Chain A
């Protein structure tokens, strides 16, 4: 089955700095890669996603890049703000199967 590895497990940055979280996946048939943000006591919420036919996608301060050859994808957050502090999960998806999640990254943005 699919295996998704996520690094780092914790990340502390100063407000205004950039944050990068990296994931690798094992199943070359996976074709959809979402990123979820989970705030304390809440369910995960999608923040950005990318399909396997796209190399990069941006949405304001958030971007995701995908390298299909190397089977890795990354989340980039620029100009971080205290409200970006949360746990972030990457995931990989195959058609008709459910998401396989990474183990999560706890991001702390220091004001």
Chain B
């Protein structure tokens, strides 16, 4: 399995441009997530999805949009890029269920996309 893959690895955008960050997973996970990580900070949730056709806002959704048409893919769209969106973006996925009382909700992370908006 490739796990969680993200493209591109790096991107530089000009203010006002738009782009889509791609994320795919081959583990048949029904939960998928987008986080952003600013320098020296923790990860903040942008959007998440509990299954195809279902998405919900996280902590910092403004300026972003998502869609989930298949179980495997969860693209993140940036419209009208702003310098405040300069960050590293991580996609993650997890299996919704757990194995008994001590089961894990482990999230598997992709390698990240480093985005700079100038």
Interface residues of A (CB under 8 A from B): 1, 6, 32, 34, 36, 41-46, 49, 51, 53-54, 89, 93, 96, 98-104
With A43-B110, A99-B45 as known contacts, state yes or no: A34 contacts B105, CB within 8 Å: yes
The distance in angstroms between the C-alpha atoms of A103 and B43, with both chains bound, is 8
Provide the B45-73 mask, 1 if CB < 8 A to any CB of A, else 0: 10010100000001100000000000000
Instruction: Collect the chain A residues with CB atoms within 8 Å of residue B48's CB.
Output: 98
- Checking B40, B42, B58 against A89 with a beta-carbon cut-off of 8 angstroms, the contacting residue is B42
Q: Is the CB–CB distance between B109 and A98 below 8 Å? A: no
Query: Is B33 positioned at the interface, with any CB of A under 8 Å from its CB?
Result: yes
Provide the B83-110 mask, 1 if CB < 8 A to any CB of A, else 0: 0000000101000000001111111011
Instruction: Collect the chain A residues with CB atoms within 8 Å of residue B12's CB.
Output: none
- 19 additional contacts (CB under 8 A) given A6-B42, A100-B59, A102-B42: A32-B105, A34-B107, A41-B112, A43-B92, A43-B110, A44-B109, A49-B104, A51-B101, A51-B103, A53-B101, A53-B102, A54-B102, A89-B42, A93-B105, A99-B43, A101-B43, A101-B44, A104-B40, A104-B41
Q: Is the CB–CB distance between B112 and A98 below 8 Å? A: no
B116 shortest CB reach to chain A, Å = 15
- Checking A1, A49, A103, A104 against B106 with a beta-carbon cut-off of 8 angstroms, the contacting residue is A49
Closest Cβ neighbor of A34 among chain B residues: B106
